[in-house]
C-alpha cells in the first residue's frame, strides 16, 4: 500500500500543481472510502471511486487496472531492491514494458470482471509465459 501511495504521489507531482492538488484530494477521498474494503476488493473500490465522476467511467477504470497490473509486474521484477536501486530498476522495467497494451478482449467490461480480464491478458503478455 505504501508503494502504491508513493507511486501515485510521484505521478501526481509531475502534473500541473493545481490539477495535482485536485488529484491528490480525489485520491485521498477514494482511499478513505475504500480503507475498510476487503483486501481483494480494494482495487475495484479505488477504481470505482476515482472514476465515478467521469461521464464515461469505463475508459478510466480500464486505464486504472492496466496501470495497476503494469505496476505489479514492475514491482515483482524489482522485489528486494531499495532506494536508488529500486528507482532505477522500476524505470528500466517500465521502459522494457513499453506503452500500455490496448487489450480489446476486455472491451465492455466494468468492475471486477474488467480487473480479472486485464489480469488474465497481462499473464498472457508477460515474458515469463512466452518462454
List the alpha helices (DSSP H) in the chain: 2-13, 17-34, 42-51, 57-77, 83-97, 111-125, 127-130
- Rounded Cα distance between 54 and 36, Å, is 24
Give me the mean pLDDT over the 33-51 stretch.
89
Q: Is residue 6 pLDDT above 80, yes or no?
A: no
pLDDT at 2: 64
Number of domains present in the structure of the chain: 1
Whether the predicted model's global pTM rises above the 0.85 cut: no
Domain that holds residue 85: 2-130
pLDDT at 19: 47
Q: What is the pLDDT of residues 47-99, one digit of tens each?
A: 899 988 888 888 888 888 898 889 988 999 999 999 999 999 999 999 988 88
Amino acid at each position: 500500500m505504501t508503494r502504491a501511495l508513493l507511486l501515485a504521489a510521484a505521478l501526481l507531482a509531475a502534473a500541473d500543481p493545481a490539477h495535482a492538488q485536485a488529484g491528490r484530494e480525489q485520491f485521498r477521498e477514494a482511499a478513505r472510502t475504500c480503507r475498510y474494503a476487503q483486501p481483494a476488493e480494494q482495487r475495484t473500490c479505488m477504481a470505482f471511486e476515482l472514476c465515478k465522476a467521469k461521464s464515461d467511467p469505463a475508459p478510466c477504470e480500464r486505464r486504472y487496472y492496466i496501470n495497476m497490473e503494469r505496476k505489479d509486474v514492475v514491482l515483482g521484477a524489482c522485489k528486494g531492491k531499495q532506494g536508488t536501486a529500486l528507482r532505477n530498476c522500476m524505470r528500466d522495467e517500465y521502459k522494457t514494458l513499453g506503452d500500455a497494451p490496448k487489450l480489446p478482449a476486455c472491451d465492455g467490461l466494468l468492475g471486477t470482471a474488467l480487473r480479472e480480464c486485464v489480469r488474465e491478458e497481462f499473464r498472457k503478455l508477460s515474458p515469463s509465459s512466452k518462454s
